[in-house]
Structures are given as structure tokens and as C-alpha cells.
Structure 1
Amino acid sequence: MMTRPHTTVVLAMSADGKIADVARSAPKFTSSIDFAHLERQVAIADAVLFGAGTLRAHGSAMSIRDSQLIAQRREKQKPDQAIQIVCTRSGVIPSDIRFFQQNIPRWLLTTEKGATSWQNNSQKPFDEIIVAENSAGEIDWEETLKTFKNKGIERLAVLGGGELIADLFTREFLDELWLTVCPVLLGGKDAPNPIEGTGLSLDNAQKLHLLSVENIDQEVFLHYQVIHHDSVS
């Protein structure tokens, strides 16, 4: 039995592998079909995890609006909305964004330093603040995911950005990957990729198993299982 949630990355990218333009603005190259796909994946999850950069770009969380998806969650005795967890080492999040007005459960994952201003906020904008910091002042992901599991999060959806996904990827904490390939080219060596960080050598590359591929209109939906090194014979 895993001591962490089943973790799925859900991303849309340009045909040249960019998840945003060079200005890191919120991507507007996806279709309504991809939006509905994203909403379905969020509805499956107990919680959604994303970085502060992703939140700053969008200004809001991916809440569930489809009444049928909400009804399905209720049938499974789940709350209407998945927990929305923003991850930030610094704790710097604009307080005037729509995220704080949405009717959703909000958690903060941060360091001791990042938690300070929010713990002292009398309005209590976060339902829960989780501090999980290692000796280097970074997020301790093993401890974090164990905490999520202990708090009842069985399925976790990760929506970006590339640095956060890289942290989970290099530690082999990812189980599935949904990629929507959109018919647009962005270019730019500084435009963000699905996985940032230092990367892996070819010898250590993480293998994927293609579960499904679907072409709808001009977009391609790819679904992969992540093959962990300890499961390869």
C-alpha cells in the first residue's frame, strides 16, 4: 500500500512542448473540449496541487462547475469541490486575486518562513496550512505526500507549474500523466516546459506506458502511466 496519494499530472501544451509563452502568462491556446477534460480530471481528484506561479498567472483555482460532475462526487460521498492546494516556499501570493473569493477549500503548502504572514492573518484565508520543510529550506515532498495521505487525500491532481512537477518527477512521485497537445507553436528557450529543473540523463530517463490517445478536433489527448524504476525488472 502506498503511503502517498495516487498522483496525476494534467497539462496542456503547445505542439513544441510549451505550457505557456515566454511571459509565463496564463495559456489561452486550449479549447472548450480541453477545459471540460481538465474539469473531469479535477472532479476525480480529492485535491489539486499547483504552484504559486501558476496561481498568479490564472488568478483563480480550477473549481468544478459541471452539475453532473458535482452529483457524481456527492454519490461517492465526496465534497462538491476538491481541495485546492497552492505550493510556495516564499508564501508570496497576492491577496486580492479571485482565488480567495472562490467557494472552495483552500490549503497552503509552504515553509516556516512562507507560513508566517498567513498564520497571523486574522481572516484565515486558508483552511489549512501545511509546513513541510527540509534542511535545505525546500519543500519536503516525501513528508508532504505522507501528510496528504493521512488527511484523506487518496487521489491528487497536479496542474503545474514545471518546477513543481520537476520536484515530484525527479523523486518518482508521479503515477499518471495527461497531456493535451494543442495546435499552436510558441517557441522561446525561456518559455516554460511541462517539466523544468535540471532534468535527467538518458540513462536515467523515466519511462512511460501509453494508456490511450484520442484526437478530438485539432487537439490530441495523451494518457500515460509513469513506470517507476523500482517496478522495472
Structure 2
Amino acid sequence: MSNFPHTTAILAMSADGKISPHSGTPARFSSPQDLKHLEEQISLCDAILFGANTLRAYGTTLTIKQPHLLAQRKNRQQTPQPINIVCSSSGKLDQNYRFFDQPVKRVLLTTQKGKENWLNNINKNQKQILFDDYLISEHNQEKINWQQIFNHLKAIKINHIAILGGGEIIASILAENLINDLWITLCPVILGGNQAPTPVGGIPLESPLGMKLKEIKKIEQELFLHYQIIKH
């Protein structure tokens, strides 16, 4: 048995390979069908993980609302909502996001310095503690040690994680060979621009990663592509 959770990256992409028009801005080009697909996928997971820029772009998280998905989670003895893990090495986040009022368990994945930054900021603003727990990356004060973090999550019975972005987070976890599969929604739109972020951006991979196409669905004008990452 693996010492790491099963990890699925889920994202929507334009026909020219972009995940948003500009860095730090939300993607608004996918459809209600894609939102439904995303809700179905995260409903299968024990936790979802996303980066600080994704939180900054949207200010919220997607919660499971469909009654049949909530019932399925109850039957699997899962909590109504997956744990929401926000990754921020610096810990510099705005406490006024609506995310902090949503009915989910919130965990900050950060460095020791990032936790200090966050706690100092909320104490300065006389805010209550807005994260339920913290995951502290060891051995490196600047970057997240993904193998250590994922090993810990597996040990506390987090068996399936969905990674929702952004591109640098996905790239850094791919570089550690820790993503098992990938769902891409290919949307019928062209964004253009040489600064628009891509699904895997910012961190070069040592060698190309192969994938195996497991499933393809067409709903109206969108394609839903499910790939298995070929481990190296």
C-alpha cells in the first residue's frame, strides 16, 4: 500500500491551454456542467487542496450541495464537506474572504514562518483564529515538503485528495511524482496572452510525464478528459 494519498488534480482549461486570463484572476469560462462535474469529483475526496492565489482569486471554496452527493458521503462515513487545505508558504492571507465563513473545516498548510506571519496578522487585527488546524512543512523554511506532508495526511486517514490549483501547486506536486490522475475540462474558448497561466506553470519538470487516457466525456461543447499519470 502507498504511503501517500491518492491524489487527483482537477482543472478547467481553454482550447489554447490557459487556466485563467491573467495570474491571480478567476477563471469564468467554464460551464454549469463543469461546475457540476467539479462538485461530483470533490465529493469523492477526504480533502481538497489549493494554493493561496486560487483563494485570492475566488475568495470562496466550492461546497457540496447536491443531496445525493451528501447522502453518498454519509454512507461512506465521510464528513459532509471535505477538509479544505490552503497552501501558503508565507501565511499572508486576507482574513476577510467569505471562505472563512463557509461551513468547512479549514487547514493552513505552511512553513513555521508562515504560521507565525498568519497568527501575528490575526492577533494584530484582533481576529479569532480562522483556521481549524495547521500543517507545518519541515526541513525547509521556504518551500513545502510535499512528501512529508502527504505522508502525514495518509497517516491521519486522508486517503483521497483533490488538487484544485493553481498551476504552480500542481507543478510542484507533479515534480515529486505525487499526482495519480488528472481531470481536465477542455472548454470551447481561446484566451490568448503570453502571461496567462497554464495548468502546470512555474516549475520545470526533470522529464516529460506520460499519461494514459482513461475516460473521455462530451457534454454539450466541453470535453471532460480523465488521465492517469504514468509513474516514473
**TM tier, smaller:** over 0.9
The corresponding residue for 1:193 is: 198
Match of 2:84 in 1: 84
Name 2:135's counterpart in structure 1: 130
Distance (Å, rounded) in 1 between the aligned partners of 2:115 and 2:141: 16
Q: What TM-score comes out, normalization by structure 2 length?
A: 0.94
Aligned residue in 2 for 1:12: 12
- Residue 218 of structure 2 corresponds to residue 215 of structure 1: yes
Q: How many residues end up aligned between the 2 structures?
A: 227
Look up the match of 2:96.
Answer: 96
1:141 aligns with 2:172: no
Conservation of the 8 A alpha-carbon contact between 2:216 and 2:225? yes
Residue 37 of structure 1 corresponds to which residue in structure 2?
37
Deviation at 1:25, TM superposition (A): 1.2
Unaligned runs of 5+ in 1: none
Cα 1:168/1:115, change in 2 over 3 Å: same
Asked if the contact 1:118/1:124 (under 8 Å) is kept, the reply is no
| Residue matched to 2:50 | 50
Q: 1-side partners of 2:129 and 2:116: how far apart? A: 12
Alpha-carbon distance in structure 2 between the residues aligned to 1:149 and 1:200: 25
Displacement, 1:2?
Answer: 0.7
Aligned equivalents of 1:166, 1:133: Cα separation in 2: 20
CA distance change for structure 1 residues 212 and 79 in 2, over 3 Å: closer, same or farther? same
Deviation at 1:66, TM superposition (A): 1.0
Q: Distance in 2 between matches of 1:187 and 1:133?
A: 39
Contact 2:92–2:117 (Cα < 8 Å) also in 1: no
**How far is 1:137 from its partner?**
2.0
Runs of 4+ in 1 over 6 A off after TM superposition: none
Matches of 2:47 and 2:2 in 1, distance apart? 17
Equivalent-residue separation in structure 2 for 1:165 and 1:71 (angstroms): 30
Distance in 2 (CA, whole Å) between partners of 1:58 and 1:171 is 27
Which residue matches 1:183? Answer: 188
Residue equivalent to 1:22: 22
Contact between 1:110 and 1:133, CA under 8 Å: does it hold in 2? no
Contact 2:185 2:223 survives alignment (8 Å): yes
Structure 2 unaligned runs (5+)?
none
- Residue 24 of structure 2 contacts residue 56 of structure 2 at CA under 8 Å; is this kept in 1? no
Q: Higher mean Cα deviation, 212-221 or 118-127?
A: 118-127
C-alpha deviation, 1:24, in angstroms: 3.3
Amino acid at match of 1:142: Q
Query: Equivalents in 1 of 2:37, 2:148: separation in Å?
Result: 30
- 1:116 matched to 2:116? The reply is yes
Kindly indicate whether the alpha-carbon contact (under 8 Å) linking 1:12 and 1:179 is maintained by their aligned counterparts in 2: yes
Note the C-alpha offset of 1:23.
4.8
Taking a change above 3 Å as real, the CA distance of residues 191 and 134 of structure 1, as seen in their structure-2 partners, is farther
Shift of residue 22 of structure 1?
2.1
TM-score, reference length from structure 1: 0.94
The CA RMSD measured in Å over matched residues stands at 1.3
Identity, in percent, stands at 44
Deviation of 1:123 after TM superposition, in Å, equals 1.6
